[in-house]
Structure formats: structure tokens, C-alpha cells
Amino acid sequence: MAKEIEETKALATQDPFAGVPALDDNDLNDFASTGNMGDNDFEQTDITYGWLKIAQTNSQVATKGHAKYIPGIEAGMYYDTLTNTIFGEKIKLIYLKFFRSYTEYKGKKGDGEFIRSLTRPQFKELLDAGEIVLVEGEGLKVPEFDDHFVQEYANWMVMVEDHPEVGILRYQVGMGSIRQVKVWNTQIDTAVLPGGRPAPKWAYIWELELALDSDGNNHSYWNFGVGNKANVKRLDIVLQPLRSRVIKNFTFFQKTSVETVDNAGQKTYTDDSYESDEPV
């Protein structure tokens, strides 16, 4: 068993460039010869992104024999839905954007069919009109349809500091993690640079570590914290050459409407049935 755990950890932390020959001076000159030509060819809207998810005990990706099983993954690990990259129980993230989103599903929680995504203004409008109601013990329901329900999520657009090759990821968690969400957001919002000057929101690398949490019904699930505590640690300041990419991506997401960000990539993930990351 110990050997299997070590092999799994090795898979989770594997070097994406393992086996690639080192670059010599001729290679470096070739790569530098075109400078930054082509940087303006692709807008962010021309690029897809993966979703940063947590493998739970009942996740399809962690179920051997399932078509979506990712070899080497176990419950309590982060992974990327686009590349199936396994990050392990700890991950180093750089913040780009935060927003809340709302998704309507048809069916039962844990096995629902995607209907539509809602922005926060759209959700509030439907809530005020009584087209979405909060039912005690059942969550947000759609009175017009008995089998429709709405899930609220917290979302971050992030980059993985030591895995720049995976690009931008969307990290989405349910309201079962709301205490951890608020703790991390507060740390991002109040961070300062050496000397006391307020830090740009993108300035630091943050380490999140998963732990086994439980809800009010004693259902266990993997979360980046336990109870009122968040397993979040502020690490180093983002340095060059990564900093230039971070600033470019941060600027894009801050200038782009939440509706556009929310819809981009939504279809690539919601083609499949809803699968809860934690009890809701």
C-alpha cells in the first residue's frame, strides 16, 4: 500500500518536461529570433481553459473502471479537467479573478443535467420575482419545474505557479466551502508588499492544501480547509518571467464582463452531468 501511495504521489508531481532534451545555445537563439511576434494573434476568447477540480470519494475520475477514470488519481487530489493533469493534495495558485455563479440543473443533486448558467444579476432578478425560491432542506428550487434546482458557486480564475503549461484554470467550489472561500478572499484582499504598500491582487503565490471536512449531516468531503479554518498559505511574490503572463491574464479578466468569463468554457465542462464536489 505504501508503495502505491508513493507511486501516486510521483504521478501527481511529475515533471511535464521530463525526457525533453536540454536547450543549447543554438536552440535558445532560435527561440529568441522571432521575439514576441505572434503574441497578438490569439485573444483570450480564442483560448479554452480547464477546470480545477477536487477528486471526491464518489468522483467518476477517481473510480477505477469508469470511462472518465484518471490513472493515478485518488480522492483528495486536485486535477485539471482539460489535460487530466494531477496536482496532488497541495497546489500553488495565482489569483486572476473572483466571481459567483449560478447554474440550473434538471434531476437529482449529484446527477443533474445542465440547463443554463445564470449571472448574479440574473439570479437576483429571478429570486426577487419568485421564479427561484429557497426551500428549507432542499436548497434553491425552480417552482415552475419540480425537478429543477439551482446551485450557487464561488469561482476563481487562476494560474498554477509550477504548471504554467496547463494555462488558465477555473477553480469552482460549492457553498459547502463558503467559510474557506471568505478566508482566502480576505487574505488576497488585504495582502501587502514589503514596506506596507497594498499588494496587487495577483502579486502572491498561494498554497492550498486539501483535508477531509464534513457537513452538518456528518457527510465527509475533501475541502481546502476544515470547519472554520482554511488551509491557505501565502508564499512568494510572483517573479519574472511568469509575472508578465500573470499581469496580462489578470488585466484581461478584470476588464472582461463576468457573464463572458462565466460562459467561456462552460459548455466544455457541462456537456456531462452535474457531479458535486461536496455535499450541498
Could you list the mean pLDDT of each consecutive 10-residue stretch along the chain, which spans 280 residues?
43 50 72 69 66 92 91 94 94 96 85 84 92 88 91 94 92 91 97 93 97 83 93 95 93 88 64 44
pLDDT value, residue 237: 95
pLDDT value, residue 110: 66
Q: What share of the chain is helix, strand, coil (3-state, %, to 5)?
A: 30, 30, 40
Please name the residues in contact with 276: beta carbons below 8 A apart, sequence gap of 6 or more: 56, 109, 110, 174
pLDDT value, residue 232: 97
pLDDT value, residue 116: 86
pLDDT value, residue 158: 97
Nearest to 148 by CA among 101, 217, 216, 102: 102
pLDDT value, residue 197: 92
How would you classify the pairing of strands 78-80 and 50-54? antiparallel
pLDDT value, residue 12: 40
Could you give the angle at the alpha carbon of 213 between the alpha carbons of 64 and 8, nearest 5°? 35
pLDDT value, residue 4: 44
